Amino acid sequence: MLDHITEKVAAGADIDAKEALWCLTEGDLLAVGRLADSIRRSMHPEGCVSFVVDRNVNYTNVCESRCKFCAFYRDADAEDAYLLPTGEIMGKIEELVAQGGTQLLMQGGLHPSLDITYFEELFSLIKSRFPTVQNHSLSPAEVTHVAGLSGLSIHETLSRLKKAGLDSIPGGGAEILVDSVRQEISPKKIGWQGWAAVMREAARLGMPTTATMMFGSRERAEDVVEHLLRVRALQDEGGRFTAFIPWTYQPGNTELGGESASGVEYLKVLALSRIVLRNIRNVQASWVTQGAKMAQVALFFGANDLGGTMLEENVVAAAGCRFRMSREEMVELIRGAGFTPVRRTTLYRELERY
Amino acid sequence: MTFAAIAEKVRSGVRITEAEALLLFEHPDLLALGELAQAVNERLNGRRVFFNVNRHINHTNICVTRCRFCAFYRREGEPGAYLMTMDEIRGRAEEAAKEGATEIHVVGGLHPDLPFEFYLDLLSTIKAVSPDLHVKAFTAVEIAYLADLAKLSIPQTLERLKEAGLGSLPGGGAEIFAPDIRNQLCPEKVSGAEWLSIMEKVHQAGLKSNATMLYGHLEGIADRVDHMRQLRELQDKTGGFQVFIPLAFQPEHSQLKIGGTGTSGVDDLRTLAVSRIYLDNFANIKAYWVMLGEKIAQVSLAFGVNDLDGTVVEERIGHEAGADTPQTMSLDAIVAMIRKAGRIPVERDTLYRELRVFP
């Protein structure tokens, strides 16, 4: 099987579900890693590893979705429920800009009363005050929620948000794009078709997007494969995914509990992502969930990007995962693995080579 | 000399030179290095991975040497300084025996006032709890100190300790042998040459020991290779080393300020892989999860490692230095970790005899 898959990979052909499943369940870690590494090197022959200086602003933790794997959400009447005042959001973006940041990732709960007007006003204000910052915000679940609250279609919602200053859409909330798994871990969240619909519409409107996968909760290996194939098909249909970002479920403080995926499982899924998703240019290592050591090792298992420096992150931190990394550490980490560090924009344009 | 030529040598079972080990360290293709180390490991150990059920007892942190990389030691009377009573030591051994431990790992500071009898007493106290508990105790550094204390030769000291219940020796205190680096790290500690000469006597006394190397501080790659060379030479002579354990320096709370946040994941895996390839006369290479983290320790099973240490319980030295790993790992967690790496967990005793296979 390995020889067969190696041949296909060398010929630039897509591997199928059975082959992908074999990589995950029976393939040797280093053999699968080597396939991913060869694809990564042919797609990024210059030997660079990139990152973006960004900040996650979680505007509210009030969420009607109450996903079982999440430690971040609160009910509206909870003591520590919050909605950031606009002034505070602006202050955070100011800090981001002062530190040379280029990307703002606003993500929050599905708040019962924040409709399209709230986001239109907020995004216009952000664009007028910080025209150079890339507003990379609102995952498909939030977009769908805003559309529902405002009585608008996805098309109308995205068009209006785009007009107000939304530049691109992060791929969060994908979890596992298989509804049987979603039923178990996030029954109130949009199904996989709903996620796909927002990403299709965004692509039609010319908005770049990313795709994520949260694994290590309740899914089977077959579900991971299905997820990857669905993302690949969406991209083939005209998707505008700039990157794929697999990360592991963090069980701390969650209703779902249990354990996190191990290091070997993470690297295998990462490598398989690189192998399956040849039509997506970038694969990110998740230092936030894996720590710096594993993120560095991941650069040999298909990853060519380390995501953001994240001046602020609250969602994964709520689940007990508190890795931090400065820009200097990131540069050092990349160099230590023998690659050239590159600071980039959200859309992977090079800003600085170290 | 190319990587391919070295790989060819290794695959046909020929010993590599120090220059070749250096080249392996510098080889940019981490996965190729891993595959080579994995091939060597699988030739020796198949898909089996050892662990043991053990408990650490660090009986005192009071120490007359002040090694700069160490965040564990205290002066007598300083806040946080401690010395366990014999009852506390017995209590920990009893607890360990109840929990199915087969090994007690004892290392501590070089206490200024304890008599030699304390150490004999410590060993016999643990053995009195259960004769089945293997006591792996005292680094070569402690042995040198005890010999001075007892005014006995090293072989005589070892003989007395053996009679009291010493089963084997851990591999600590080796740090890095290179004198210029060692003088900066731990000027008061026995030299590398002395460490090796004590280990030779340990092996001659019929005791097995482990061997370590502290890396990721001031040393260069050449110092690491030279350290391994000296271990390989002694091993050729005595065959008394059971396992090699590279230890990643933990900078967080150390006086030794070198910047950075410790060794990188790639460096950890490289060091383990090169040691598996170079140390052809060592049966086992151990990833010490306390200092590497569980994820890298698990991944290292694909980079030549066949031993994951044990359940540990209450390790203090690495944790004082800032290791953010848990204090212990349950047997179930270690077994699961090995299985998830696609390997076969095997519980061993201290002397690497198989106790239980988890199919």
Q: Using the beta-carbon criterion (under 8 Å), do A262 and B28 form an inter-chain contact?
A: no
A129 close contact with B: CB closer than 8 A: no
Q: Report chain A residues whose CB lies below 8 A from the CB of B325.
A: none
CA–CA distance, B321 with B253 (Å, rounded to integer): 5
| Cβ atoms B122, B133 nearer than 8 A | no
Reported ipTM: 0.92
Amino acid identity of residue A46, one-letter, is E
- Collapsed DSSP state (helix, strand, coil) of residue A160: helix
Domains of chain A: total: 1
Q: Report chain B residues whose CB lies below 8 A from the CB of A262.
A: 294-295, 298, 336-337, 340-341
**pTM to 2 decimals?**
0.94
Q: Using the beta-carbon criterion (under 8 Å), do A337 and B260 form an inter-chain contact?
A: no
Identify from A265, A300, A301, A323 which residue to disrupt to test chain B contact, counting B C-beta atoms within 10 A and taking the largest count. Answer: A300
Q: Using the beta-carbon criterion (under 8 Å), do B299 and A338 form an inter-chain contact?
A: no
CA–CA distance, B285 with B305 (Å, rounded to integer): 5
| Cβ atoms A254, A218 nearer than 8 A | no
pLDDT tens digits for B251-261? 877 777 766 67
Amino acid identity of residue B297, one-letter, is A
Dmax over Cα atoms in chain B, in whole Å? Answer: 59
Residue among B283, B194, B192, B285 nearest B240 (CA): B283
Residues whose CB falls within 8 Å of the CB of residue A218, separated by 6 or more in sequence, listed in order = A181, A184, A185, A256
B344 close contact with A: CB closer than 8 A: no
Q: Report chain A residues whose CB lies below 8 A from the CB of B261.
A: 292, 329
Note down pLDDT in tens along chain B; length 359 residues: 899 999 999 999 999 999 999 999 999 999 999 999 999 999 999 999 999 999 999 999 999 998 888 888 899 889 999 999 999 999 999 999 998 999 999 999 999 999 999 999 999 999 999 999 999 999 999 999 999 999 999 999 999 999 999 999 999 999 999 999 999 999 999 999 999 999 999 999 999 999 999 999 999 999 999 999 999 999 999 999 999 999 999 887 777 776 667 899 999 999 999 999 999 999 999 999 888 999 999 999 999 999 998 877 667 777 776 677 776 788 899 999 999 999 999 999 999 999 999 98
Distance from CA of B95 to the nearest CA of A (A): 27
CA–CA distance, A141 with A5 (Å, rounded to integer): 35
Residues of B336-348 as b/e, b for ≥16 C-beta within 10 angstroms? bbbebbbbebbbb
Burial (CB count within 10 angstroms: exposed 0-12, middle 13-18, buried 19+), residue A12: exposed
The 3 state secondary structure assigned to B43-70 is: HHHCCEEEEECEEEECCECECCCCCCCC
CATH code of A329's domain: 3.20.20.70
Q: Report chain A residues whose CB lies below 8 A from the CB of B269.
A: 297
Q: Using the beta-carbon criterion (under 8 Å), do B264 and A294 form an inter-chain contact?
A: no
Q: Using the beta-carbon criterion (under 8 Å), do A264 and B298 form an inter-chain contact?
A: yes
A297 close contact with B: CB closer than 8 A: yes
Q: Using the beta-carbon criterion (under 8 Å), do B299 and A267 form an inter-chain contact?
A: yes
Q: In the CATH hierarchy, which fold is given to the domain comprising B27-357?
A: TIM Barrel (3.20.20)
Q: Using the beta-carbon criterion (under 8 Å), do A300 and B31 form an inter-chain contact?
A: yes
